[in-house]
């Protein structure tokens, strides 16, 4: 491996962990050494990285010495227990779980939106929720120009957001349905194949789900504006990879459709696909495996003043998770913070 930084991936055998290995390689991150951590049942497995085989270590019994950056994607409970341990040993933890996102002294970072926030880290940086990441990448340039007052959002989230078991469940249920066999559900409370579940995360006393409130609270924190009003409905759909969102936003200053297209076409990390006459608009199957956030169906909301509607799609495993984490690591290197 090339000279550079000592990295660790925690949750290395999961769907996002695998994507982290791939992203580090594709972006040629300056890796000096790379360690892989997972649960005891994955101990001893090997993962290939740039032609080398890396043996998976048991997180519960391993030592965490000489690690510069640790990319976590192992769930909130694991992050709460082990992230502080890595940080105390000198690593900067970039955590993909919800464990620290709303902690006051933990930066919640999307490099295209609030790169300056990494400078405030105290050993842990939070990676936002996948739906939040693609949302703020698309709307922040519009907020800068016209200031967003209110948003109404519906998400259509793929099963890979739940993890590998959910991917298997959708595939199995689809095969069983097409072959006339009885369907069983273990990951989700209902059948996901050929179905929609308006239920992501636990329901709160307000009637909203945890996932919906993540969109509300994380958007405000990243964009550093608590005055933005957000109403969200999150839906799980039978798609393997890529989350989609309908967003209607109301701005203080008027924006024409042409202005929105122009602003977003010139924005970092955004690709505008917006030609309905030719059936050109973002699609989950096309976004899968891509790094950018795709925006289309841009149109005036005729029911309100200064209101625009759009359709936003991105690969939730890449920009929604692994890529954003690696981009944060790149920021740390660029700013000399590691």
Residue 3 pLDDT grade (very low, low, confident, very high; cuts 50, 70, 90): low
| Alpha-carbon gap, residue 323 to 213, rounded angstroms | 23
Catalytic residue check, 190? no
pLDDT tens digits, one per residue of 267-277:
999 999 999 99
Q: Are strands 31-38 and 5-10 parallel, antiparallel or unpaired?
A: parallel
Nearest-CA neighbor of 96 among 121, 64, 128, 70? Answer: 128
CB of 1 closer than 8 Å to CB of 50:
yes
Q: Residue 2: its pLDDT value, please?
A: 43
Q: Residue 278: its pLDDT value, please?
A: 98
Domains of the chain: 5-128+321-334 (3.40.50.720), 132-316 (3.30.360.10)
Nearest-CA neighbor of 99 among 84, 111, 113? Answer: 84
Catalytic residue check, 130? yes
pTM of the model: 0.95
pLDDT tens digits, one per residue of 111-130:
999 999 999 999 999 999 99
| Active-site position among 121, 143, 234, 243 | 243
Q: Are strands 243-251 and 148-157 parallel, antiparallel or unpaired?
A: antiparallel
Residues 187-210: b if buried by 16+ CB within 10 A, e if exposed: bbeebbbebebeebeeeeeeebbe
Residues 125-136: b if buried by 16+ CB within 10 A, e if exposed: bbbbbbbbbbbb
| Active-site position among 121, 130, 143, 234 | 130
pLDDT tens digits, one per residue of 62-109:
999 999 999 999 999 999 999 999 999 999 999 999 999 999 999 999
Cα first-last separation, the chain: 19
């Amino acid at each position: 491996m090339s000279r550079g930084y000592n990295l660790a991936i925690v949750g290395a055998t999961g769907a996002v962990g695998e994507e982290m290995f791939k992203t580090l390689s594709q972006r040629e991150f300056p890796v000096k050494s790379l360690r892989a951590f997972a649960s005891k049942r994955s101990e001893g497995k090997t993962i290939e990285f740039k032609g080398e085989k890396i043996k998976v270590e048991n997180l519960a019994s391993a030592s965490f010495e000489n690690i510069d950056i640790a990319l976590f994607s192992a769930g909130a409970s694991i992050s709460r227990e082990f992230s502080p341990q890595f940080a105390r040993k000198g690593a900067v933890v970039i955590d993909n779980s919800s464990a620290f996102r709303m902690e006051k002294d933990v930066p919640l970072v999307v490099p295209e939106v609030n790169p300056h926030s990494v400078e405030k880290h105290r050993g842990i940086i939070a990676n936002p929720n996948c739906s939040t990441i693609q949302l703020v990448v698309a709307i922040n340039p519009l907020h800068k120009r016209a200031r967003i007052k209110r948003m109404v959002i519906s998400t259509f989230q793929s099963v890979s957001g739940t993890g590998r078991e959910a991917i298997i469940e959708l595939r199995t249920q689809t095969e069983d349905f097409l072959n006339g066999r009885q369907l069983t559900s273990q990951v989700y409370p209902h059948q996901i194949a050929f179905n929609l579940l308006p239920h992501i995360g636990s329901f709160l006393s307000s009637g909203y789900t945890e996932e919906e409130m993540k969109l509300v609270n994380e958007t405000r924190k990243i964009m550093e504006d608590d005055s933005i009003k957000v109403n969200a409905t999150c839906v799980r759909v039978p798609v393997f990879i890529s989350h989609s969102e309908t967003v209607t936003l109301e701005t203080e200053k008027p924006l024409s459709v042409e202005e929105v297209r122009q602003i977003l076409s010139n924005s970092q990390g955004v690709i505008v696909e917006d030609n309905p006459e030719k059936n050109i608009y973002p699609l989950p199957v096309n976004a899968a495996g891509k790094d950018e956030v795709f925006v289309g169906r841009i149109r005036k909301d005729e029911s309100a003043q200064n209101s625009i509607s759009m359709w936003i799609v991105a690969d939730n495993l890449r920009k929604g998770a692994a890529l954003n984490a690696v981009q944060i690591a790149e920021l740390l290197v660029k700013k000399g913070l590691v």
